Amino acid sequence: MDDSRKPSSSGHSLLKGAAVLGIAAVISKLLGTLQKIPLQNMAGDGVFGIYNAVYPLYILILTIATAGIPIAVSKFVSEQTVMGRPAEARRILKLASGVLTLTGLLCFIALYAGAGVIAGWMGVGQTEKAIRSVSFALLLVPVMAALRGYFQGIQNMIPTAVSQVVEQLVRVATMIGLLLYFIALGMSEEWIAAGATFGSVAGAGAGLVVMLLYWWKRKEPALPAAGSGNPSSPEPAAAGDTVRSAVAGRMDDVGGQAARAREMPPEPALSLIRRFLRYALPICLGSLVVPLLTLVDTFTMPRLLIYGGLDEAGSMYAFGLYNHGLPLVQLVSMIATSMSTALIPAIAAAKIRNEPEIIRVRSELAIRFTWLVGLAASFGLAVTAVPLNIMFFKSAEGWEAMSLLAFTAAFSTVNIVTSSILQGLGAVKVPVIHLLIGVVLKIGFNLLLMPLWGIQGAAVAAVIAYGTASGLNYRYLRKNIGVRITFRSGLFKPLLAVVCMCAGILVLYLGLELALDYLAPGLSSRIRYSIIGLATVAVGGLIYPLALLRTGAVSRSELAAVPSFGKKIEPWLVRIGLWK
């Protein structure tokens, strides 16, 4: 094979690095989500409530402190590296680190000194120590994020991937260690919660150390020589080969640009910082919306629960019960997030090539498959809320709120994917506006429904908020690119499959309860419902896809389009009679 047709080593490294970064992101998100289960098991729902009240506030302040600058670092460093100016790339990192150190310090002072005031706004004084505890992470995370942006800018994804996993591992280990220590000392719930939130500080410290180690032993990227283009992927022109001549000409032009860029004087620091902020602030404003939606509960639920007759400790206990369902919903959302990562470049590429029909088809398939996954997860979590609650959180208490909150899985996954499609199309402000509408609705319906139904009212408000945001995204796509999902394929047939799944789950649920009563009457409640929970989830996961195929909710052509899977499974489906 001609060497010129082989993928370049740099391209292979980039793909490998992107894959490693993706895997690391999934692992870190999984650790970050699942660590809430041992937290509740070890410390109880009071501490769990305090933790879940404080952590969204920390994420919001962290978003403000970093202000989208790490993404700007990645972009600006990438530009300077391509132009063969590594010294300017390093200067960009130093300037960004200086800005982020300042913003991190200011946000730390505001959060630490204002912890009492913020706890008062929440209506829960018990959160004050946890707010102060987590505030120290703001001294570490911004610089770590800038270093991650630098390495991603030079297309080295490994440091970010390693630091993400190390950060989460140290965070979880510190949290569990401090929980055990503080519980053994018999400390109060607010001190135990402060120990749990300090895990974020330890994790940030470990992640920063990893990034600094990579920085100290880094190797500078090779400079493109004038007339040679990118040295890591040479493509010599053969005589008479017009295609290669054109490529070589373009590479000569890139090399010439790089040579001219290296002769340019460095951009003044203030001018560079202004460009940073112009690029980064819109990213920051867009990133604020998701933590704002979560933060609504932090600032409304405790006060409304106290207004409803609970004391401060009781309100935190109830808030902890409300948050039982969130880790499970977030696990489902990870599937949509993984899909959306591939969607943005695919949609953007189709837009550049002016292929509206491909954009429409890809968008419809992505929305429909995400909806099918989210719908099954929502109904599955709703009907198994009791056994899963006992399995993960020791008791069935709060299962009603968990059942209702489960339905945010369907809408939040669709919202993630439709937002990614809109970003790929360049309509970056549209999903932000729609989520802001969701934030307003969440506030309004919390105020309206919580006095009537308590934490169940807040769960209904969350479903309405996410349902509205995802519906508005879909409406925009329907109007602007012609996305059409029919009632029959999008709702009627999937609901038939869901009914089959739920019927199978309930029959197995009741059968296992009777069987365990007879065969193992002395079995502990947690083991008993763990068996029931795992069995019903497994059976539901088997029935649902078969029901989708049987009802025609997923067509033969759609399944065949799934790479390296559809054609392999088709003969088996014919053999068992699902297809002819």
Q: Which of 34-48, 211-225, 307-321 shows the lowest mean pLDDT across its residues?
A: 211-225
Q: Over 60: is that where the pLDDT of 249 sits? A: no
- Residue with the bigger pLDDT between 458 and 78: it is 458
Which is more confident, 425 or 524?
A: 524
Determine the Cα–Cα distance for residues 372 and 367; give it in Å rounded to an integer.
9
Q: How far is the C-alpha of 108 from the C-alpha of 141, rounded, in Å? A: 11
Residue 509 in this model has a pLDDT that exceeds 80: yes
pLDDT tens per residue across span 139-163: 999 999 899 888 888 878 888 888 9
**Whose CA is closest to 114, among 128, 100, 126, 103?**
128
Q: Which residue has the higher pLDDT, 510 or 353?
A: 510
| pLDDT band, very low/low/confident/very high, at 280 (cuts 50, 70, 90) | confident
Q: For 466, what's the count of Cα atoms within 13 Å in the CB-facing half-sphere?
A: 24
Among 131, 220, 153, 205, which Cα is nearest to 174's? 205
* Average pLDDT of span 114-125: 92
Q: 3-state SS string over 456-481?
A: HHHHHHHHHHHHHHHHHHHHHHHHHH
HEC-encoded secondary structure of 82-108: HCCCHHHHHHHHHHHHHHHHHHHHHHH
Helix (H, G, I), strand (E, B) or coil at 311: coil
pLDDT higher than 70, residue 301: yes
Q: Which of 448, 190, 436 is nearest to 304 (CA)?
A: 448
| Tens digits of residue pLDDT in 47-76 | 999 999 999 899 888 888 876 777 788 888
Rounded-to-integer distance, Cα 436 and Cα 112, Å: 28
- Note the pLDDT of residue 207: 93
Residue with the larger pLDDT of the pair 20 and 295: 295
User: What is the distance in angstroms between the CA of the first residue and the CA of the last residue of the chain?
Assistant: 43
Of 95-109, 231-245, 405-419, 515-529, least confident by mean pLDDT is: 231-245
Q: Note whether 471 and 412 are within 8 A (CB).
A: no
How high is the mean pLDDT of the chain?
A: 82
CB distance 200 to 58 below 8 Å: yes
What does the pLDDT read at residue 568? 64
* Average pLDDT of span 104-119: 94
Residue closest to 433 by CA, chosen among 467, 464, 473, 460: 473
